Structure 1
Amino acid sequence: MEQLRIAQVSDLHVLKDYRNSMFDRLPLLQTELPANYVQVALREIAEAKPDILVLTGDLVHEGSAADYRFLKMLIDRYCDGIPVLPVLGNHDLKQSFYRGYLNEDRTGRYYYKHEQNGYRFLVIDTAVERNGCGDISSEQIDWLEQELSHASENGTILLGHHPLQSRQAWFHTDYDARLGDILEKSDVIAYLCGHAHYAEDCTICGIRQITAESCAFGVETVSDTDVIYTHTRGYNTCWLENREIIVHQHQMFPVHPQICRFAF
C-alpha cells in the first residue's frame, strides 16, 4: 500500500514585528500573535514527522523580504529535513516572497510541480495581491491541462490558496469552466487550500476539496454582510493511503488542553 502523510498549515500571517499592521488594531490579536501559533504548529508537526509540509497561502501578512526570511528561519528551525511546499495567498507580496524566501529576483504568479513517493503535487497561485477574491489564470489552467494529460503513479494532489467554492460568503474564486472538466477527468485526489479561515471538506468538480483552518485566527460569516474573527486556530494532518485521504483537524488553544500523556 502506498502511503504519504501530509501536514497542512494555512493562513499563517507571519510578521517579525506586528506593530503598525492590521493586527495592531485588533484586540483579539494584539497579545496572541500569529507567529507564536505558527511556532506551536511547527513544533507539533516536527514531533509528528510527516513526509511533507504544505503551506497553503498567506504565509506573511503583506510584509517584506525580511519577514519571509524570518518565516524561512522558523521552518528550518523546527522542520529541517521535511520537504516544504509554499503556496502564495492574497496577503503574500510576490516580489517580497521571491526575494526573501527563494532568494530570487523575479515577478509573476508562482506555480510549480513536486513529486514524492509516487504522488504528484501541482501548486497553483490563485491570488491577486490584497484582493480577497481568488483568480485562476488561463495560463495556469493550460499548465494544469498539460500536466494532468498523463496520470501520476499514485495520483495527484492539487494545492492552492482560495477554495474553488466555499460556504463563507465574503469571497469568491473566478476560473474558466474548463477547469472543472479538466479536474473531473484527471487523477487529482484532492485539492488542499485555505483562505477561508474556516475548516471545510466537500466535493467540487468531482474532487475532494479540503480547506484548512487558519493558523492565525478564525473567521465566521454571520450574515450576508458581516463576519467575526474568533480564537479558532488549527492545522491539518492528511493521511494518503493509495487514493484515499483521511483528514485530522488539529485545534490550537492559548493554553493546550492536555490532561496527561502516556506511552503505549
Structure 2
Amino acid sequence: MLIAQITDLHIGTGNDIGAEDNYHRLLAVFETLSKLKRKPDVYIATGDLTEIGSVAAYKLLKQMIDEVNPGVPVLPCLGNHDVTENFKKVFGKTHIHEGFCQYSVDLGDVWLVVTDTHDETIHGGAFDEARADFLDRAIEEANGRPVLLAMHHPPFVTGIDWMGARNYEEPWLVQVRDVIKRHSNVKKIICGHIHRTMDRPFAGSSCIVSSATAAQVHLELAAITSSTADGRPLIVDEPPGFALHWWDGREFVTHHGVAGDFDVILEYHDRFRNVMRDVFHVPE
C-alpha cells in the first residue's frame, strides 16, 4: 500500500484564490504524484486545508480533488487554520464525529485513525478528554491490526518553538501520549503544521512530520522572543513538499519529496538493463 500525505495547503490566501501561489503549489504536488509509475492508493491531507476556513476555499479545494484525483480518496484532517462548520458545508459530515474531525477507515492491511488536535482559537494544538476517549476507542476498533494515526499538530516539542508546543508536559501532549502508549499497534503517526520535515520516536511509536505544499518555515532552532525582532527569515519559498508512506507488510517506510520540474541526469534505457540485473540485482 502506498499512502500520499499532503499537508498545510492553505488554500484561500487572497481574493482571487484560483490564482494564488498556494493553489498552484498544490497543483504541482498533484502533478508530480500523478507522474509516478506506482501511484498512491489514498491521499491523507493533514490539516490547514485552507488559510482562513472560508467556504469558497473549501469549494475550490473540493473541485481540485475531484478533478485531479478522480477515484482516489483524499481523507481530510483539520488544522488550526480550518473552520469546522464551513468544512462541513462543503465536504459534508462524513468525517465529523462528536463535533470534531475524527474518524477511522479500514484500508485493508492498515487501520487509519484521524484525530483532531485543532482549536480555532489556539495556534499550537489542543486536545481534551472527549477526543482522547474517541481516539482510544478508534484504535481499539483495529483489533490489533497496524494503525496509522494522522493528526495536524505534532504531539511533541519540535525545537521551532514559535510554531508549536514549548513544554513536553503541556496537558494536551500528555493526553495524546497517554492514549498512544496504551496501544502497541500504532505503527506510525503522521503530522503537519510545522512546514518542515522531521521525525522522532513518540510513545512507543514513531512520528513523521511532512513539509507543506504551501511555503516552508525557515529551519532555525535558536530561541525567538517577542521583545527583540532579530531579522531572521520566518517563511521561505522552498519547493512544495509531500510524503509517501509505503506499507511493506510489516512497517511503514516514509519518503519525502518535492514537486517541480528538474533536469534528468540518467534515464532507464535498454543499455542499462544488464547493469540493473547484474549490479543492482533487479529481477527479470
Q: Report the TM range for the smaller structure's normalisation.
A: 0.7 to 0.9
Q: Distance in 1 between matches of 2:121 and 2:8?
A: 14
- Residues 132-174 of structure 1: per-residue CA shift (max 9 Å, x gap): 1101221111112223335446410001000001232112174
Query: Residue 178 and residue 74 in structure 1: after superposition, are their counterparts in 2 closer, same or farther (change >3 A)?
Result: closer
Q: Give structure 1 stretches of 5+ with no counterpart.
A: 22-30
1:67-78 matched pairs, under 5 angstroms: 67-78=57-68
The letter for the 1-side match of 2:29 is A
Q: Give structure 2 stretches of 5+ with no counterpart.
A: 225-231, 270-284
Query: Is residue 41 of structure 2 the alignment partner of residue 42 of structure 1?
Result: no
SS at match of 1:162: coil
Q: Distance in 1 between matches of 2:259 and 2:61?
A: 19
Query: Is residue 45 of structure 2 the alignment partner of residue 55 of structure 1?
Result: yes
SS at match of 1:69: helix
Q: Which moved more, 1:106-115 or 1:138-147?
A: 106-115
> Partner residue of 2:222?
223
TM-score relative to the length of structure 1? 0.85
> Partner residue of 2:81?
91
> Partner residue of 2:254?
247
Q: Distance in 1 between matches of 2:211 and 2:130?
A: 29
Question: Is contact 1:134–1:174 with CA below 8 Å preserved after alignment?
Answer: no
SS at match of 1:114: strand
Question: Is contact 1:222–1:228 with CA below 8 Å preserved after alignment?
Answer: no
Query: Is residue 199 of structure 2 the alignment partner of residue 208 of structure 1?
Result: no
TM-score relative to the length of structure 2? 0.79
The letter for the 1-side match of 2:136 is E
Question: Is contact 1:64–1:100 with CA below 8 Å preserved after alignment?
Answer: no
Question: Is contact 1:65–1:101 with CA below 8 Å preserved after alignment?
Answer: no
SS at match of 2:200: strand
> Partner residue of 1:82?
72
1:1-264 matched pairs, under 5 angstroms: 4-15=1-12, 18-19=14-15, 33-48=21-36, 49-102=39-92, 108-149=99-140, 151-152=142-143, 154-165=145-156, 166-170=158-162, 171-172=164-165, 174-175=171-172, 177-186=174-183, 187-220=185-218, 221-225=220-224, 228-232=234-238, 233-253=240-260, 256-259=261-264, 262-263=267-268
Q: Which moved more, 1:66-75 or 1:171-180?
A: 171-180
Query: Residue 181 and residue 234 in structure 1: after superposition, are their counterparts in 2 closer, same or farther (change >3 A)?
Result: same
Q: Distance in 1 between matches of 2:207 and 2:132?
A: 17
By percentage of residues, which structure has more strand? 1
Q: Distance in 1 between matches of 2:136 and 2:192?
A: 23
The letter for the 2-side match of 1:204 is F
- Percent identity, please: 26
User: Which structure has the bigger radius of gyration?
Assistant: 2
Q: Distance in 2 between matches of 1:103 and 1:122?
A: 16
